[in-house]
Each structure stands twice: as structure tokens, then as C-alpha cells.
Chains A and B, each alone.
Chain A
Amino acid sequence: EPEVTQTPSHQVTQMGQEVILRCVPISNHLYFYWYRQILGQKVEFLVSFYNNEISEKSEIFDDQFSVERPDGSNFTLKIRSTKLEDSAMYFCASSEGSTNEKLFFGSGTQLSVL
């Protein structure tokens, strides 16, 4: 089965630093997403992206966050100035379309902000 790949699997950073989390969605998928899961808590939606622009974003996705599809294969999440509370597992996902179709999630990047 095709899969979404994420790099790195673990990222440690100092508070205030910028981080970029990278994802390679499934090649024929058109919709891309970022979710996160703080340890012991629910999986939370951050943002959806289609046709090179944000379709929807949650309250969590503030000005410190940005997403980009810099080329035909990568999808990135940037956090400009990390905070301690940004520590979480970040999941990238993709889907062929947005109409009741299943999302394919990557294995995640564990971000630790010290």
C-alpha cells in the first residue's frame, strides 16, 4: 500500500527556534493535512491544503505556523518560533479528494521543544 513519509522521525529544538517538518504525500493525492497529538491527548486538526493554498485551519494554527508545497512532492510545516507547548507528535496526511474519502497518515515527527 502506498504511504505518506515524514522526516525527521524525531526533532529536538530549543524554544524560540524555527523548525520545518517535512512530508512526502502519496503521489496522486491532491489534499494534504497536518495534525498533531500532544502526549496522552487527542489527535488535533491543524490545517488542510489544496491547490497550493490553505483550505481550512484550526485555532491552533496561528501566525507562528505556515505550510508550503515547495515542489511537486514535498509538503512542509514550519513553526517560526517554537514554544514549549508545541512539543507533540505531528502527523502529515493526504487524501485523493475531500469527499468522504479516507485520509492516509504518516508515522509522524516527534517534536520536542526544550
Chain B
Amino acid sequence: LAKTTQPISMDSYEGQEVNITCSHNNIATNDYITWYQQFPSQGPRFIIQGYKTKVTNEVASLFIPADRKSSTLSLPRVSLSDTAVYYCLVGDFYNQGGKLIFGQGTELSVKP
């Protein structure tokens, strides 16, 4: 399983764009990149998943360079309610059968 490295914490202000970068140097060919969000005392919530280039949904964008050794989760115009822990997960989820390996995540704090 590919090891991921992401900042332990980040601070931002309301209305700003936040970019959280995750390194995964030993990503394998069959691996996908998935980001989850977790609020205190809640279960993780799927945000976005990608394999290469750029993926965008109503919540976030995910940028993956050609070498796929890193990825960046971009949250446009954050609000106080985006304060949460964000997890970058990398794996061949097809063969892992739903076994997600969570790291420590990035604790994002959005201030007014």
C-alpha cells in the first residue's frame, strides 16, 4: 500500500481557497487517490476520487500531476463549516475490498 504524507495542520480564513497537498511517491499503477473529510465525532465522508489529471465535483477539485506522485485537494472559498480533518488515501481499492488505510490526515482550521 502506498504511503501518504500530508501536512498535519493548516489554517485558513473564510472565503479563501485552500490547497492540501499529499505526497505518495510509491503509488502503484492500479492505485486511485481518494480524499475523505471527517468532522469531530462523525464518520469520514467521501469527498473526491481520481486517477490522473483533474477531477472536479460540487465540493472540491483534485489535481494529479502526470507522475502521480502527489495530489492536491483544492477547496474553493472555504467557510467555517469546512473546519475538519482531511485524509488522503491511496490504494487499489478494487483489490483491497473496501479496506481503507487512513493516516493522521490534515487538520484544517478555518477562521472568520
Contacts and interface: CB of A to CB of B under 8 A. Distances in A.
Interface residues of A, number: 29
Nearest to A3: B43
A35 B98 CA distance: 11
Contacts, number: 67
A84 B103 CA distance: 24
A70 B102 CA distance: 29
B104 A42 contact: yes
Given A43-B38, A100-B49, A105 B44 contact: yes
A102 B43 contact: no
B46 A103 contact: yes
A106 B96 CA distance: 20
Which range holds the interface residue count of chain B? 20 to 34
Contact of A45 (B42, B46, B100): B100
A36 B100 CA distance: 12
A33 B102 contact: no
Contact of A100 (B32, B42, B103): B32
B42 A43 contact: no
